[in-house]
Structure formats: structure tokens, C-alpha cells
Amino acid sequence: MTPAERIAQLEAVVEQQGEQIATLLERVHELEARLAKDSHNSSKPPSSDGLARKTKSLRKRSGKQAGGQIGHRGETLRLVAVPDEIVEHRPAVCSACQAPLEQAVPVRRERRQVQDLPLVRLVVREHQALHVRCPVCQTVNVGTFPPEAVSRAQYGPQLRALVVYLVEQQFVPFGRSREVLADLFGAHLSTGTLVQWVQRGAVALAPVEAQIKAALRRAPVLHSDETGVRQAGQLAWAHVASTARLTHYAIHPKRGSAATEAIGILPTYTGMSVHDGWKPYRAHTACRHALCNIHHLRELTFLEEHYHQAWAKELKHLLREMKAAADRTRAHGDVQLPSPVRDAFVARYEALLAAGLAAYPPPARDPRRR
């Protein structure tokens, strides 16, 4: 091999190694960026942050001191006008002359009230169906038991409702719910009984759920999200669809379109669907789509902190400024911003987007892909 050929070979190796180094550096930078993401600068949930990482809240300080503010009406426990029970504490004898005071007329009453729970125990109400003979025709007529008394002995609807409330609203596990019922009421129930009561509650509330889902489908703006949960030890997904007044939760083993199709709210929804940009939401094309601004703020925070992009910080400030202006407008009873204010916001918004696109131009489209 001649010296020229050797030099050409080495130059080729150097060029190849340079390409490899550039690829590795890009990969390292990508991995560093991934490690830098947590719940305050991405869509990752707070549970993924770990115990060692303290995330920074995106909430802005109001400038107010901690605690109750001047002029704020406190919540002080007050006397009720008609108490459930009155207990008189009469002195037995006079402290000066030791005369008995049983018949003495009070000259003043000093009131103090104690608000507490009553004695907690199960109340057993026995229902008796009377067999009564008609004095005219001698036919024996039998009284009708109420719906809650279907057998010789059972627990009543209020206890069953409490179980459903503890398990479904307060998320108390079945085992601990059993402990609560045993400790407070002396009711020793099996897990199977509690599960059965919850299932009966679901059947009874099915018409209510249908009404909530129908109302959500008619809502002009609908917020959707999903998060991972454990169901019988397996990964499942809790899907939520909500407005300011209505919320629907559903557990499904899938995260994407299969779940939203089965739940049946988004497939026929025609309003404005607000979500985090998760791709399966885009499969529902009958509605318009809007991205949740808190996710915009988190991603802009990542660009500001990791890549030191000034335009990202300015866009975060603008989004908050726009929201504050919209809140003030609604507080005054108006439905939209004045045109000059809106146009000024739009101009600033588009200028910052242009700065972002200049810093990070979109990737070139591959002509081979359709």
C-alpha cells in the first residue's frame, strides 16, 4: 500500500469515526434530555418523579401572606338555634349559706354547646306482617313487607350505601372497610358481601351514569385524560371525561381508541375536545381539538430550562397573561376579549411561534412517505 493510499484509508476511517461520534453525541444529548424531564416540564405524572427529585410547581405566587387574608370571613363553630338535646347543670347548694337550690328560679342561663357524633351502633328494626281476618267474609289478609326486608334477616340500605361510599368515593380498600364496619358498628361482613353491594350499587346507578354520559356528549367543551392504575394486580387505565359540573370515570385495560370507543362518549362528541395531545384522541374526528395549556407550559419549561430558549419563557408568560385577561373579561360578564386586545395577543403569540420555529425548524418531510 502506497503512502497516498494509506492516508486515504485513514481519512476514510476518521470520517467514519466522526460520523459515529456525531451520532453518539446526538444520542447522549437525547438521553440527557429524557432524564431531565419530570412532571413539571413534561406530561409525565408526579408519581414518576421519584423520592429524590423535588419538582417545581408551575403555579405563580400571588404575593399574599400565608394564612387567612384581611377581610376574609372565617369559619368559626357557632351555636345552633335549636339543639337536639338540652342538659341543665344546676348547682345543688348555695356556695355562701349551703341552702338547697332544687326549687330556686334561675336568674340567667349560660349556654355552651358540644357538637359530637351520636352513639354509633346498628339499629335493628323488626318488620312484622300481620295476618288479619276479615270480620265480614273471614278471609285472612297479610300485610306487605317493605322492599328492604326481603328475607328473615338482612342489612339495610343505609349500611349498604355507606359501604359503596367508602369503597368507591373514598377509595378505602375492602379489607379496611370491613375493619371500619366491625370497629364502629360490630358488623362483621365478608369481602364477598361488600363486593356484591358495590356491584348492586353500580346496577342501580346505571341510569344515572347514562344521563351523565349523554350530558357530556352535549357539552360545548369536554376535557379528557387518562392515567395508569392497578386493577386486580394488572395495569389498567382510568379514563376521565369532565366539565366544570360533570365527571365520568371508567376503568379499561386499554389506553387508546379501544377504550374510548367502549366508553362511548368521545366517538359521537361534536364539541371542543381538550386533552394532552395523546394521539388516540385525534382518532375522533367529529369534534374539534384543543391542547391543554398546562402541558404547553410544562413543555415550554423544559425548553427554557434544558435548552435555555428565551422565546419559550416569553411564551409561557404570554399564555398566563392571556388567561388572566380572559378571566377578567368573564368576571365582568363579557364573553370575549375586545378586538384590539385580542389582536395584540395574537400578534405576540405568532411572533413567538415564529421564533420557536426558527430555533427548531420542523423536520424535512421524506418524499418517499405519504
pLDDT in tens, 204-218: 999 999 999 999 999
Single out the residue in 262, 290, 318 at which a domain terminates: 290
CATH number for the domain spanning 249: value is 3.30.420
In a domain, 252, yes or no: yes
Mean of the per-residue pLDDT values for the chain? Answer: 88
Q: Per this entry, what is the length of the chain? A: 370
CA separation (Å) from 286 to 30, 255, 283, 291? Answer: 36, 20, 9, 16
Q: d(Cα 294, Cα 39) in Å, to the nearest integer? A: 11
My answer on whether 319 and 268 are in the same domain is no
Taking the CA atoms of 89, 94, 98 and 99 in sequence, report the sign of the dihedral they define. Answer: negative
How buried is 332 (Cβ within 10 angstroms: 0-12 exposed, 13-18 middle, 19+ buried)? exposed
My answer on whether 198 and 231 are in the same domain is no
Whole-number CA gyration radius for the chain: 34
In a domain, 223, yes or no: yes
Mean pLDDT throughout 228-245?
Answer: 92
**Segment among 74-78, 121-125, 134-138, 156-160 with least mean pLDDT:** 74-78
- Of 37 and 134, the structure prediction assigns the larger pLDDT to 134
| Whether pLDDT at 335 is above 90 | no
Encoded amino acid at 269, one letter: Y
In a domain, 114, yes or no: no
Mean pLDDT throughout 342-348?
Answer: 96
Number of domains composing the chain: 3
pLDDT value of residue 23: 83
My answer on whether 226 and 270 are in the same domain is yes
| Whether pLDDT at 73 is above 70 | no
By three-state DSSP, how is residue 150 classified? coil
Q: d(Cα 180, Cα 177) in Å, to the nearest integer? A: 5
pLDDT value of residue 51: 58
Residue 19's pLDDT band, with cuts at 50, 70 and 90, is confident
Q: Mind listing the pLDDT tens digit for each residue in 94-122? A: 999 999 999 999 999 999 999 998 888 89
Domain containing 176 equals: 152-202
For residue 239, give the nearest of 248, 10, 61, 318 by alpha carbon: 248
Single out the residue in 290, 315, 346 at which a domain terminates: 290
Mean pLDDT throughout 341-367?
Answer: 87
In a domain, 108, yes or no: no
| Whether pLDDT at 18 is above 90 | no
In a domain, 346, yes or no: yes
| Whether pLDDT at 27 is above 60 | yes
pLDDT value of residue 50: 64
My answer on whether 286 and 334 are in the same domain is no
My answer on whether 233 and 197 are in the same domain is no
CA separation (Å) from 167 to 79, 171, 173, 187, 191? Answer: 34, 5, 6, 16, 12
| Whether pLDDT at 69 is above 80 | no
In a domain, 111, yes or no: no
Mean pLDDT throughout 260-287?
Answer: 94
My answer on whether 194 and 226 are in the same domain is no
Give me the residue label for grid cell 429524590.
52
- Of 234 and 38, the structure prediction assigns the larger pLDDT to 234
| Whether pLDDT at 53 is above 80 | no
Q: Mind listing the pLDDT tens digit for each residue in 157-187? A: 999 999 999 999 999 999 999 999 999 999 9
Encoded amino acid at 72, one letter: H
My answer on whether 197 and 222 are in the same domain is no
My answer on whether 279 and 312 are in the same domain is no
Nearest-10 crossing angle of helices 310-331, 339-359: 160
| Whether pLDDT at 370 is above 80 | no
My answer on whether 325 and 340 are in the same domain is yes
In a domain, 62, yes or no: no
My answer on whether 308 and 350 are in the same domain is yes
**Segment among 20-34, 93-107, 136-150, 240-254 with least mean pLDDT:** 20-34
My answer on whether 229 and 187 are in the same domain is no
Please list the helix, strand and coil fractions of the chain in percent, rounded to the nearest 5, in that order.
45, 10, 45
My answer on whether 164 and 191 are in the same domain is yes
| Whether pLDDT at 54 is above 70 | no
Task: Tell me the percentage of the chain whose pLDDT exceeds 70.
Answer: 88
Q: Mind listing the pLDDT tens digit for each residue in 280-319? A: 999 999 999 999 888 889 989 988 888 888 999 999 999 9
Single out the residue in 202, 235, 268 at which a domain terminates: 202
pLDDT value of residue 2: 83
In a domain, 123, yes or no: no
